Chain A
Amino acid sequence: MLLIHCPYCGDRPEIEFSYGGQAHLARPASPATLSDEEWAAYLYLRKNPRGLHAERWRHLRGCGRFFNALRDTTNDRFAGTYKVGEAPP
């Protein structure tokens, strides 16, 4: 079980969290102006890196807050977690 550092609550076990997919995807301000291809890219195209991945987690069974994390997908080590709106460490 991973040990995840919630930027609001501290270290907590993985079962308190839910995974939220790739981070730093902003919903387009006016989707109507996007082509079908651009919209499909926003909807479906995601990174799948071998190594550090910026992703969203939510401390669902804790403070309930979303935050971002940098996790190495090869060994599940977290390089750090940070609040929404902050730059990756």
Chain B
Amino acid sequence: MNAHRTASGGRVDRGQKLRFTFDGAPFEGLAGDTLASALLANGVHLVARSFKYHRPRGILTAGAEEPNALVTVRRDAARVTPNLRATQVELYEGLAAESQNRWPSLAFDLGRANDFLSPLFPAGFYYKTFMWPRAAWAALYEPLIRRAAGLGRTPTEPDPDGYAQCYAHCDVLVVGAGPAGIAASVAAAECGARVVLCDEQAEAGGSLLDGTAATIDGETADAWRAWCLSELAGNPRVRLLPRTTAFGYFPHNNIGLVERITDHLAQVAPGAVRERLWQLRAREVVLATGAIEQPLVFPGNDRPGIMLASAAHTYLHRYGVRAGTRAAIVTATDNAYRTALDLRAAGVEISAIVDQRPGSPMADAARQAGIEVLCGATVAGTRGKLRVSGVELEGRTLACDLVLMSGGWAPSVHLFSQSRGRLAWSDAARAFVPSASAERERSAGACRGVYGLAEALADGAAAGVAAATACGHAGKAPHMAVTGDEHAAHAAPAGASPRANPGKKAFVDFQNDVTARDLLLAAQEGFRSIEHVKRYTTVGMATDQGKTSNLNALGIVAGRTGKQIPEVGHTTFRMPYTPVSFGSLAGLARGDLFDPLRTTPMHEAAVARGAVFEDVGQWRRARYFPQGSEDMDAAVARECRAVRSACGVFDASTLGKIAVIGPDAAEFLNRLYVNDFSGLAPGRARYGILLREDGFIYDDGVIARLAPGRFHVTTTTGGAARVLAMMEDYRQTEWNDLEVWLTSVTEQWAVIAVQGPLAREVIERVAAGIDLAPVALPHMAVAEGSVAGVPALVFRVSFTGELGYEINVPARHGRAAWDAVCEAGGSLGITPYGTETMHVLRAEKGYIIVGQDTDGTATPDDAGLSWAIGRKKPDFVGKRSIERATMKDPARKQLIGLRTQDPAVVLEEGAQLVDAPGLKPPMKPIGHVSSSYRSAALGYSIALAMVAGGRARIGQTLYVPMPAGDIAVTVTSPVFHDPEGARLHG
């Protein structure tokens, strides 16, 4: 039996011993323990080092609000969870926990030097201390700060556990299964509502688990609790979610819950789901989240062995653990008296009760029981190194190994505040409590300052009925009769001001190591807004979100600035309520499922050919097809030569494709694109340009008319979805007079581009039913027939400047058609090429890529494409904009070509251009390089660039300033290869 365990009592299973380790040392606990209660049962109080000063810290609380006792739990190398609150870690056989933020050991931590150097680290020290010398920032300060920052270490291996996500709906969600939450759930369920009741603990009951002597409806509180839970569990309309934290209140009653499924188990099956993230949409929400006792701010209030009175009460009654052998109680409430009496009954010596108030009705009872009570006393400091050994009062020291603090209760309004509900100061509760709701929500019990068991039950039942009624159910709130409730929470002056004691630290925020002096300094330095004080001192900004510090901080700032707390206001409570693992937020969206990967029907053929791939949006495209030991440059040069001299084959399936169908299809495209489609005959195609209404190029692609009312529109690979969205927008909201239908057919067609002087011969070998003669199927024509025995649309189009065809076959036949084309062209030297070669070939012809050569500020004229504009059309999207004078300014950036004067030099894409050599920054660039390649066909490097007044500069020399010096370039036409287009029309 543990030395500090009581002989009987509590909810632990005394027959089931569990072994565990802390920092490698073996301990024994009981089933039903948390790590914190098991450590305390073994007399271990020192469990952590604080964040900034590395001060020894113990266990302050017994719940989710714990700021100090953060530990790492290690199951194996991959299952390492840092920053868990020991007060919430359920003990299991073999649990291995480690302390954090210490080196070399918890008992001897060199980081403690920070505590003695603390005059160097006042509030906002990082704004003050690390400013000079300037050079020291990158070399010294930042690396040091980075090393010191953060708590815990992330695991080094991928997380092998499974995480699930689910969506659910209910009438009434009740958050918190304490007395108010249980009463609300029972009441709402009796009305017939579909209820979800969640609670962060393993066992529902809240404060009912802490050994109250009260009876409810004539039964013990525990019997009543058990009866209610079995009623709820047996109701098919009720779902109970234990070990489930409501961490976020999102708009329209969307609540984020995280359910911990395996963390309390000793053995976890491989692949088991560790956590489940619920996105619950509730018609009505009842918040019954309770209240959190607040510490008192006095010098040295952070030593191990100093904890909240309510925590000691919980450890005693719920876990059968005496948190010390001799306790001093420092209080501003009556609650602590009850704890003192209970502890004494359990065999703990009470050194004295130090009541900061002038008196208490409980004082006499305590004195009668033989406990010394010092009213109106203040604490000057505490003693002890790794464990508290005494409380210093004026003129005397109370010897003790346990100090209990009771500074009043703060309602847990975190979720309410997240829901954007308005808080109001309550003089009765001495705290901020929920006022006007922003959502369909109501708070019940201690979380709105309603303390006392009978009051909380009545409040919960009323809230449950009201919530159910708001969902259309009906019923009457059940009355629950309570006797013998002796432990009602009490209000206390928030932020009881500390005694001025410049030599000693009085902590307000334990997790972020913020002291009363830091807050006073912030006020002295002129910070008035509590939000600014928060950011300057970091009070309330740790992972505990100020659960045990916000109210005290408010009190201190109010006192220093001579305001009342309601005037000071409060800071915003941020989600999550307690930290949520990345695993549960990510769910299945990791690894291959992080982002969908799109591959074409011919993907496996490219894999078989040894292609190197690149990701283009979600598409994975073959970039080049290296042979032997070829690098990219060599492969691309070979592929380019093949297309220019014989024939290449390219997978163009990723092109966006939209079927535009209907009697008004031509009119629709006329209104949308710059081109005139009215004269386009069926069987012919046109290069289309789509502008935004502001006149800038949005997308481009070939548009073919297959029949009078049927167009096949292609878009850029990346633009497919947004072009369809834009088309739908105009179709539905502007031009609903037009009869036209839009369908994405990107995935329906596989596209095989066959390009090169021998392309026609290749196509002739695989196509049937199509007259390929140049007169019958000239450049920019389309014919229907069959290829490799499957129905096909054959476009005569070219993105290379060579004779070219694009074969469209139904996607399921893509691979077969690809193989047939490759086989047919084998004897003609057909060569598969990838996106890199495609880019070089099109740049040699001066064909732009939207988004690479244009950047959202290019007009058709800027890109040298005004020839495409249908001049006779009265209107199209963007026309009015490109007719503004500034859009026709000859000084606008225009697309031109560049040749480096040294043909071996390849410019960097994105490089800036200037018009004189030897300029020193800052200089004004006149343009930039948008595409740049080594051209195998031409024998020199080429580039496309957008240059101010570029077309008038053809022949001029410009300069590309680079770190190694200026690179001289000559401005040329953007068309380097076959400017007459003879090859295209061959």
Determine how close the nearest CB of chain B comes to the CB of A22; give it in whole angstroms.
12
Bound state CA distance, A15 and B763, in angstroms?
46
Determine how close the nearest CB of chain A comes to the CB of B287; give it in whole angstroms.
18
Measured between beta carbons, the chain B residues less than 8 angstroms from A27 are 693, 734
For A28-72 the 0/1 string (1 means CB < 8 A from B) is 001110101001000100000000000010101000111000000
Q: Is A79's beta carbon under 8 Å from chain B?
A: no
Q: Is B881's beta carbon under 8 Å from chain A?
A: yes
Q: Is B694's beta carbon under 8 Å from chain A?
A: yes
Closest chain A residue, CB of each to CB of B880 = A31
Measured between beta carbons, the chain B residues less than 8 angstroms from A58 are 725, 728-729
A1 B251 Cβ-Cβ under 8 A:
yes
Q: Is B254's beta carbon under 8 Å from chain A?
A: yes
Bound state CA distance, A25 and B732, in angstroms?
13
Determine how close the nearest CB of chain B comes to the CB of A8; give it in whole angstroms.
12
A30 B875 Cβ-Cβ under 8 A:
yes
Bound state CA distance, A75 and B736, in angstroms?
33
Q: Is B150's beta carbon under 8 Å from chain A?
A: no
Bound state CA distance, A60 and B728, in angstroms?
10
Bound state CA distance, A82 and B883, in angstroms?
36
Bound state CA distance, A15 and B563, in angstroms?
45
Bound state CA distance, A64 and B729, in angstroms?
10
Bound state CA distance, A64 and B743, in angstroms?
11
A39 B880 Cβ-Cβ under 8 A:
yes
Partner of B725, one of A13, A18, A43: A18
Bound state CA distance, A67 and B250, in angstroms?
24
Determine how close the nearest CB of chain B comes to the CB of A15; give it in whole angstroms.
10
Scoring B253, B420, B725, B733 by chain A CB atoms within 10 A of each residue's CB, the highest score goes to B733
Determine how close the nearest CB of chain B comes to the CB of A31; give it in whole angstroms.
4
A43 B251 Cβ-Cβ under 8 A:
no
Given A27-B734, A66-B729: A3 and B438 within 8 A (CB)?
Answer: no
B733 A3 Cβ-Cβ under 8 A:
no
Measured between beta carbons, the chain A residues less than 8 angstroms from B728 are 58, 64, 66
A76 B251 Cβ-Cβ under 8 A:
yes
A1 B880 Cβ-Cβ under 8 A:
no
Closest chain B residue, CB of each to CB of A28 = B880
Q: Is A20's beta carbon under 8 Å from chain B?
A: yes
B880 A2 Cβ-Cβ under 8 A:
no
A56 B733 Cβ-Cβ under 8 A:
yes
Q: Is B879's beta carbon under 8 Å from chain A?
A: yes
A39 B279 Cβ-Cβ under 8 A:
no
Measured between beta carbons, the chain B residues less than 8 angstroms from A3 are 251-254, 281
Q: Is B874's beta carbon under 8 Å from chain A?
A: yes
Closest chain B residue, CB of each to CB of A65 = B732
Bound state CA distance, A32 and B876, in angstroms?
10
Measured between beta carbons, the chain A residues less than 8 angstroms from B251 are 1-3, 76
For B874-899 the 0/1 string (1 means CB < 8 A from A) is 11000111011000000000000000
Bound state CA distance, A52 and B375, in angstroms?
57
Bound state CA distance, A60 and B744, in angstroms?
13
Partner of B879, one of A13, A31, A66: A31
Measured between beta carbons, the chain B residues less than 8 angstroms from A66 are 728-729, 732-733
Measured between beta carbons, the chain B residues less than 8 angstroms from A2 are 251-252
Determine how close the nearest CB of chain B comes to the CB of A56; give it in whole angstroms.
7
B252 A32 Cβ-Cβ under 8 A:
no
Bound state CA distance, A56 and B693, in angstroms?
18
Closest chain A residue, CB of each to CB of B735 = A27
Bound state CA distance, A76 and B866, in angstroms?
45
Measured between beta carbons, the chain A residues less than 8 angstroms from B253 are 3
B252 A1 Cβ-Cβ under 8 A:
yes
Bound state CA distance, A83 and B586, in angstroms?
36
Determine how close the nearest CB of chain A comes to the CB of B722; give it in whole angstroms.
10
Measured between beta carbons, the chain B residues less than 8 angstroms from A31 are 875, 879-880
Q: How many residues does chain B have at the interface if contact means C-beta atoms less than 8 Å apart?
A: 26
B884 A36 Cβ-Cβ under 8 A:
yes
B875 A75 Cβ-Cβ under 8 A:
no
A20 B880 Cβ-Cβ under 8 A:
no
Bound state CA distance, A32 and B881, in angstroms?
9
Determine how close the nearest CB of chain B comes to the CB of A88; give it in whole angstroms.
15
A30 B874 Cβ-Cβ under 8 A:
yes
Given A34-B880, A36-B884: A1 and B732 within 8 A (CB)?
Answer: no
B252 A76 Cβ-Cβ under 8 A:
yes
Given A30-B874, A75-B438: A43 and B729 within 8 A (CB)?
Answer: no
Bound state CA distance, A56 and B694, in angstroms?
20
Determine how close the nearest CB of chain B comes to the CB of A87; give it in whole angstroms.
16
Scoring B251, B253, B879 by chain A CB atoms within 10 A of each residue's CB, the highest score goes to B251
Measured between beta carbons, the chain A residues less than 8 angstroms from B167 are 13
Closest chain A residue, CB of each to CB of B693 = A43
Partner of B875, one of A26, A32, A56, A64: A32
Closest chain B residue, CB of each to CB of A42 = B693
B250 A1 Cβ-Cβ under 8 A:
yes
Partner of B736, one of A60, A76, A84: A84
Measured between beta carbons, the chain A residues less than 8 angstroms from B250 are 1
Closest chain B residue, CB of each to CB of A21 = B729
Bound state CA distance, A53 and B250, in angstroms?
21
Measured between beta carbons, the chain B residues less than 8 angstroms from A39 are 880-881, 884
Measured between beta carbons, the chain B residues less than 8 angstroms from A20 are 729
Bound state CA distance, A56 and B883, in angstroms?
29
Bound state CA distance, A89 and B732, in angstroms?
21
Residues 160-212 of B contacting A (Cβ, < 8 Å): 167
Bound state CA distance, A85 and B733, in angstroms?
9
A84 B732 Cβ-Cβ under 8 A:
yes
Measured between beta carbons, the chain B residues less than 8 angstroms from A85 are 736
Partner of B420, one of A1, A65, A75: A75
Determine how close the nearest CB of chain A comes to the CB of B734; give it in whole angstroms.
5
Measured between beta carbons, the chain B residues less than 8 angstroms from A64 are 728
Determine how close the nearest CB of chain A comes to the CB of B122; give it in whole angstroms.
39
Bound state CA distance, A7 and B438, in angstroms?
24
For B683-696 the 0/1 string (1 means CB < 8 A from A) is 00000000001100
Bound state CA distance, A2 and B420, in angstroms?
14
Bound state CA distance, A26 and B734, in angstroms?
7
Closest chain B residue, CB of each to CB of A33 = B880
Bound state CA distance, A84 and B731, in angstroms?
12
Closest chain A residue, CB of each to CB of B252 = A3
Bound state CA distance, A39 and B883, in angstroms?
11
Bound state CA distance, A56 and B253, in angstroms?
23
For B724-762 the 0/1 string (1 means CB < 8 A from A) is 010011001110100000000000000000000000000
Bound state CA distance, A29 and B441, in angstroms?
48
Partner of A84, one of B693, B733, B875: B733
Closest chain A residue, CB of each to CB of B884 = A36
Measured between beta carbons, the chain B residues less than 8 angstroms from A76 are 251-252
Bound state CA distance, A85 and B737, in angstroms?
12
Bound state CA distance, A43 and B887, in angstroms?
15
Closest chain A residue, CB of each to CB of B875 = A31
B874 A32 Cβ-Cβ under 8 A:
yes
Bound state CA distance, A30 and B876, in angstroms?
10
Determine how close the nearest CB of chain B comes to the CB of A44; give it in whole angstroms.
8
Partner of A43, one of B252, B281, B875, B881: B881
A1 B879 Cβ-Cβ under 8 A:
no
Bound state CA distance, A13 and B167, in angstroms?
11
Bound state CA distance, A64 and B725, in angstroms?
9
Bound state CA distance, A84 and B281, in angstroms?
28
Give A residues with C-beta under 8 Å from B.
1-3, 13, 18, 20, 26-27, 30-32, 34, 36, 39, 43, 56, 58, 60, 64-66, 75-76, 84-85
- Give the top 8 A-B pairs by smallest Cβ distance, nearest first: A31-B880, A3-B252, A66-B732, A1-B254, A76-B251, A27-B734, A39-B880, A2-B251
Could you list 7 further interchain pairs (A-B, Cβ under 8 angstroms) beyond the known A27-B734, A65-B732? A1-B251, A2-B252, A30-B875, A34-B880, A39-B880, A39-B884, A84-B732
22 A-B residue contacts at CB 8 Å?
A: A1-B251, A1-B252, A1-B254, A1-B279, A3-B251, A3-B253, A13-B167, A13-B254, A18-B725, A27-B734, A31-B879, A32-B874, A32-B875, A32-B880, A36-B884, A39-B880, A43-B694, A58-B725, A65-B732, A66-B729, A84-B732, A85-B736
Give B residues with C-beta under 8 Å from A.
167, 250-254, 279, 281, 420, 438, 693-694, 725, 728-729, 732-734, 736, 874-875, 879-881, 883-884
